Structure 1
Amino acid sequence: MTVNRTLGGDSAAVPDLIAQVLEEAGITAVFGISGGHTGRIFGALEKRQQRIRTVLVREESLAAVMAEVYGRLTRKPGVVLGQGPWVLGNGLVGTIEARLSSSPMLLLTDFSDTPPFSLHGPYQSGTGEYGNWDARQAFSGVVKQVFAAHEPMPAVHATQLAIKHALTGQPGPVAVIYSLSALTGRVDADSQPRLYPTQHYLPTPLPPADPARVAAAAGVLQAAKRPVLIAGNGVRLADAFGPLQALAEAAGLPVVTTPSGKGGLAETHPLALGVFGTFGTPAANACVAEADVVLVVGSKLTASDTAREHPALLDPERQTFIQIDVEPRNASWTFPAEHVLIGDAATVLGQLQAALKQPSAAAGLARVREHREALGHFAGPAYRSEASPLLPQRIIAALQEHLPEDTVICCDAGENRIFMTHCYQTRRAGHFIQAAGAGPMGFAIPAALAAKLLHPGQPVVAVCGDGGFAMTMNGLMTAVEQDLPIVTVILNNQALGWSLHSRGPFATRLGDFDHAAIARGVGCEGVRITQAAQLGPALRKAVAARRPTVLDVLTSLDVSFEDFSSPLARATPAPRVD
């Protein structure tokens, strides 16, 4: 095979080649703040404004979350660009979420070094010598891989390898740390080793799962009396929403999800029961508990997902597990799986469907209908309450009633996320985004900005508490500057709800601030809502507005996350009696 050496030509500056690598990888946006030596890369991006959108943010945590969500939604690495100490420190919010949620991300940053004075304790330097901080070691604790580039050609090649590592296997964040000596250099035609086009570093499609294993799993699934499908984060990573729905419909599989898999199947679908586990719906938990065969798609089944692995919910001694995962190390990690199918979830789900013989959905549809009728399905008196301050369920009911079906919902962390996870009924697959990997507060607004950038024609709504809003409300400035008209709904209970309901009022109460006025002060629309009747008109107007809008909703503290906790999560399993 002959490979053309198109990168660099006769001679090119390193920042220009780094920008070219990003473009060759199909990356269309970069998020960050120009600082340290990375200003040189920003300068190179200025020449590519028609192909790569550079989004200047007000603080690195915004950039990191936006990059994480860009990676989630595009399956291409989201790029954070900025100075080393602050990409690490402030950007840690999105980086850890990307690591635990397996979102592809690139952290392009610098040592902030001062060659040749690295041994003399220079200002800000992260090269690791005496008197410096060690950037490589620091980043290595939170990313999949770190590449350090001290010379021109390796700086370009490291960027290509970082893209490969971010995408290969289980995706995640990768850091490239550039020295000033690398970014100020050039790559010539005779530079060694040679550079090649970035396409050769992009991962190729994974092979299908072993056909014999697929056939065996399909046989077990078809023979099951009470099968259930658990959809996790891997469904999103593989963009497997369509294949999942097709298999569920063909085999009559009731579908539940983990929190990070919420929305893998629209929860309005007749086979959907919502989230299961610690904060799951009663119907979802009942369906999982009765299952004889459990098909797990792209989930690690963590303790927080599974009510601390309560055997009344999941138990490999009475249930047969089939597990689909892209990462072999995740197979049989938490629970032993008798049937393991390694591969891309979309491909393997299609293989399973093709291997089924004379499938029928009738029994599964009946089981879901019975569980919904017996235990409820996204409904109840609180959804219609006119109490003031407003109950969280009433606010969520208004979101479902008045927002268009194609709205993308972005959730924050804390008690408000539990309310949304449990009570909000998704209407389209892939339209619910939450920080379920690490759970950082301040996630919703930058997540919504990234979603709106990628889907400008769809409504995008950030739902957060007043604590999370305060952490990233500077994102409203970015929304105005970048013309990203998102809607932010604040469940304002003047408290850190999770902490207050966990341990009491000390150091958990927040002041009564008018967040709508703050929003108006930075050029957004801002409305304070105190009555349930105001919600519908305000939401419809906010969606139609051409400016970012904040709805500051005074919210009751009478409802706690404990109200949505499964009894299994609070109970101690009884000793096993054989």
Structure 2
Amino acid sequence: MAIMKGGELIAQYLVQEKVPYIFGICGHGNVGILDALYDVKDQLQLISPRHEQCAGHMADAYFRVKHKPVATLTSTGPGSANMVMSCATALSDSSAFLCITSNVPTSQHNRAPFQELYKHNQADFAQVMRPVVKRAFQPSRVDMLPLALRQAMDTMVTGRPGPVNLDIPYNVYQEEADVELPASSHIHRMHRPGASDLDVAATLDLLASARQPVIFIGHGATLSEAGPEITELAERLQIPVITSPNGMGAIPGDHPLALGFIGRNGAYPANEAGRRADLVITLGTRFDDRSSSSWHEGYSWNFPKTKLIHVDIDPQELGRNYAPTLGIIADIQVFVRQLLNALPERADIVAVNHAPWVAQVQGWQRQWETFVRPHFEDSTSPLRPEFVVGTLQKILPDDVILALDSGVHHNWFMQFWQAKRPQSMLNSWGYSSMGFGVCGVMGAQLAAPDRPCVAVVGDGGFTMAPYVLCTAVEYNLPVVWIVWNNFAWGAIRDLQYGLFNGREIGTAFYKGQSGERYNPDFAAWARACGADGYTVTRPQDLAMAVEQALKNKKPCVIDVHVDADVRPPSTGTWQLPPTPYKEPVYGQPWKP
């Protein structure tokens, strides 16, 4: 036991748990812990971006790349409120970080001091955070910190990962108590529950009777680092693999059995295989509306006619949207390894011939390639979206970490990008937060300093968070932002065109009433901040600009003017009730 201030205890505990970074912004409410962080700055580096939401997105992306959590720090009131978006983003996509927020002194609770929320309960900020975190703790004394810290760390990483909030009155940072550091948490030990023997046997029985099976993988597969096991299972049994956005890369995107994303803007082979399969083995994903064509039968899936094995570490996801034939609570890597270990005893499965099914799927792949590939070579100004995706696929190295923001560009990458490695394609999928890719790429760079980190972001999303350039320059982070510049909130403008007869309002960027398209000069903006900046309006200049940016190893913005009138071909559907859903542009729904 030792006499320690609360701030010292928190700093020492983060050092003990080998947390390398704390992303945060100063304020009167956290100066006490800032002083404690000064003493450990060689072991725990404070990275201070220019906005609290950015700190959260950086911590979120760090975890998605490294699978180790870091911490964030904010002051009382508005700074902490800015964390709501980044916590909601992380929670929706099963990503973890320790969100430390500050609150008013305990002696002033319920007296309405500066920045207290007191309408319904004293110092009620924890109530703000509860819907967007896995758990909220509010220790009000120094001697309550050891238990809260250990429980917070454990809660983040056990089961389905998620952010945890530690809301601390700022007198607790400075007050002292006779305390000791809590025992180490679970963050360095993976907890991997497996399936029961009966469930493994039932899975194998269903596999033995299937003739047209597919595997559907999501972020749960990525988080359990199950890519090698899934690839081995797919190869041994010759089963095609469909991926959700956060599952991309678990099986290499250019693998012959990899069909890509499914849903409205998915690849045609994925939708065709999904709706014609007789068995779907779902590993760590949840059938959201975009990956299931808003649950319309025959467009992406055909449940309940198709049999479903749903495996997830979170029991709440089993049966949320489709009742499974067999629901299994398990870690994905452990479960797939259990299947692989059991296969030698099941000659009936190994002998099943999936060659006719795979040949049919390969026919759909060739058909899709014939339809889409010609536009990848189109030389137009502004640039065609397919040309941009295709050029980046050729130029960026296989170990690139790609961070995507929300926007129409994301639809193009969902449809055509082939991630070669796991934990290398970062998406805000569940909450679709603008700013995640813009900010998160810096957290990815800190998690993987030896790998190129590139963010593809919309012009609207980038202008929400241009302060990232300051942070990248300050901390010498050689990230590259490729701005998909179509002079509009393009995804929403396309909805207006498609559903409201082109009655565009509030989605295009114009200068006054002139009708002249407007955006700032993003490249000049970057150079003003001390970063590199390039503008690309001709297709022949894109590869050169990207290669130069990677070679320079400096923060860089590449402003790419993209044709706003070319839209991804839909291969499934998506409904926004009460607006009707549309038929696919390519491919047809199928009902057995």
Structure-1-length-normalised TM-score: 0.92
The answer on whether the counterparts of 1:84 and 1:177 sit within 8 Å (CA) in structure 2 is no
Partner of residue 199, structure 1: 185
| Matching residue within 522, 532, 545 for 1:525 | 532
- Aligned CA distance change for structure 1 residues 572 and 558 (closer, same or farther; 3 Å): closer
The CA distance in 1 between the partners of 2:187 and 2:51, in whole Å, is 31
Indicate whether 1:559 and 2:566 are aligned.
yes
Amino acid at match of 2:108: F
- Structure 1 residue 546: Cα displacement: 2.2
The CA distance in 2 between the partners of 1:492 and 1:544, in whole Å, is 23
The 5-angstrom pairing of residues 281-430 of structure 1 reads: 281-312=267-298, 313-356=300-343, 357-358=346-347, 359=350, 363=355, 365-376=358-369, 379-430=372-423
Partner of residue 274, structure 1: 260
The answer on whether the counterparts of 1:497 and 1:560 sit within 8 Å (CA) in structure 2 is no
The answer on whether the counterparts of 1:493 and 1:554 sit within 8 Å (CA) in structure 2 is yes
The 5-angstrom pairing of residues 27-176 of structure 1 reads: 27-111=19-103, 113-126=104-117, 134-176=124-166
Amino acid at match of 1:125: E
The answer on whether the counterparts of 1:265 and 1:429 sit within 8 Å (CA) in structure 2 is yes
- Structure 1 residue 198: Cα displacement: 2.5
The answer on whether the counterparts of 1:410 and 1:462 sit within 8 Å (CA) in structure 2 is yes
| 1:46-70 superposed Cα distances (whole Å, 9 cap, x missing partner) | 2223332221110011101011112
| 1:447-485 superposed Cα distances (whole Å, 9 cap, x missing partner) | 111111111111111001100111111111111111110
The CA distance in 2 between the partners of 1:572 and 1:488, in whole Å, is 35
The CA distance in 1 between the partners of 2:167 and 2:590, in whole Å, is 53
The answer on whether the counterparts of 2:304 and 2:322 sit within 8 Å (CA) in structure 1 is no
The CA distance in 2 between the partners of 1:251 and 1:38, in whole Å, is 56
The CA distance in 2 between the partners of 1:180 and 1:314, in whole Å, is 52
- Aligned CA distance change for structure 1 residues 93 and 117 (closer, same or farther; 3 Å): closer
Does 401-410 or 497-506 show the bigger shift? Answer: 497-506
- Aligned CA distance change for structure 1 residues 147 and 115 (closer, same or farther; 3 Å): closer
The answer on whether the counterparts of 1:278 and 1:565 sit within 8 Å (CA) in structure 2 is yes
- Structure 1 residue 559: Cα displacement: 1.3
Partner of residue 539, structure 1: 546
| 1:231-264 superposed Cα distances (whole Å, 9 cap, x missing partner) | 1111122122222112111221100112332333
Amino acid at match of 1:383: F
The answer on whether the counterparts of 2:27 and 2:75 sit within 8 Å (CA) in structure 1 is yes
Partner of residue 476, structure 2: 483
| 1:160-203 superposed Cα distances (whole Å, 9 cap, x missing partner) | 211111122221111111113322222315xxxx7631237877
Amino acid at match of 2:204: A
Amino acid at match of 2:492: S
The answer on whether the counterparts of 2:64 and 2:426 sit within 8 Å (CA) in structure 1 is no
SS at match of 1:31: strand
SS at match of 1:141: helix
- Structure 1 residue 371: Cα displacement: 2.1
SS at match of 1:228: strand
- Aligned CA distance change for structure 1 residues 180 and 84 (closer, same or farther; 3 Å): closer
Does 377-386 or 495-504 show the bigger shift? Answer: 377-386
SS at match of 1:172: coil
The CA distance in 2 between the partners of 1:278 and 1:195, in whole Å, is 51
The CA distance in 1 between the partners of 2:591 and 2:448, in whole Å, is 55
Amino acid at match of 1:21: Y
Does 324-333 or 421-430 show the bigger shift? Answer: 421-430
| Matching residue within 230, 235, 241 for 2:227 | 241
Indicate whether 1:18 and 2:10 are aligned.
yes
| Matching residue within 204, 212, 235 for 1:226 | 212
Partner of residue 448, structure 2: 455
The CA distance in 2 between the partners of 1:442 and 1:249, in whole Å, is 38
**Greater RCO, 1 or 2 (C-alpha within 8 Å, sep 6+):** 2
The CA distance in 2 between the partners of 1:500 and 1:438, in whole Å, is 20
The CA distance in 2 between the partners of 1:429 and 1:349, in whole Å, is 16
Task: Identify unmatched segments of 5+ residues in structure 2.
Answer: 497-502, 510-517, 576-580
| 1:297-318 superposed Cα distances (whole Å, 9 cap, x missing partner) | 0011112220011211323332
The answer on whether the counterparts of 1:164 and 1:203 sit within 8 Å (CA) in structure 2 is no
SS at match of 1:198: coil
- Structure 1 residue 75: Cα displacement: 2.5
| Matching residue within 154, 157, 167 for 1:177 | 167
Q: List structure 1 segments (4+ residues) > 4 angstroms apart after TM superposition.
A: 127-130, 200-204, 571-578
- Aligned CA distance change for structure 1 residues 81 and 577 (closer, same or farther; 3 Å): closer
Partner of residue 548, structure 1: 555
Partner of residue 522, structure 2: 515
**CA-based RMSD:** 2.5
The CA distance in 1 between the partners of 2:549 and 2:95, in whole Å, is 30
Amino acid at match of 1:525: D
SS at match of 1:107: strand
The CA distance in 2 between the partners of 1:42 and 1:120, in whole Å, is 26
The answer on whether the counterparts of 1:288 and 1:314 sit within 8 Å (CA) in structure 2 is yes
- Structure 1 residue 127: Cα displacement: 5.4
The CA distance in 2 between the partners of 1:411 and 1:376, in whole Å, is 24
Does 202-211 or 399-408 show the bigger shift? Answer: 202-211
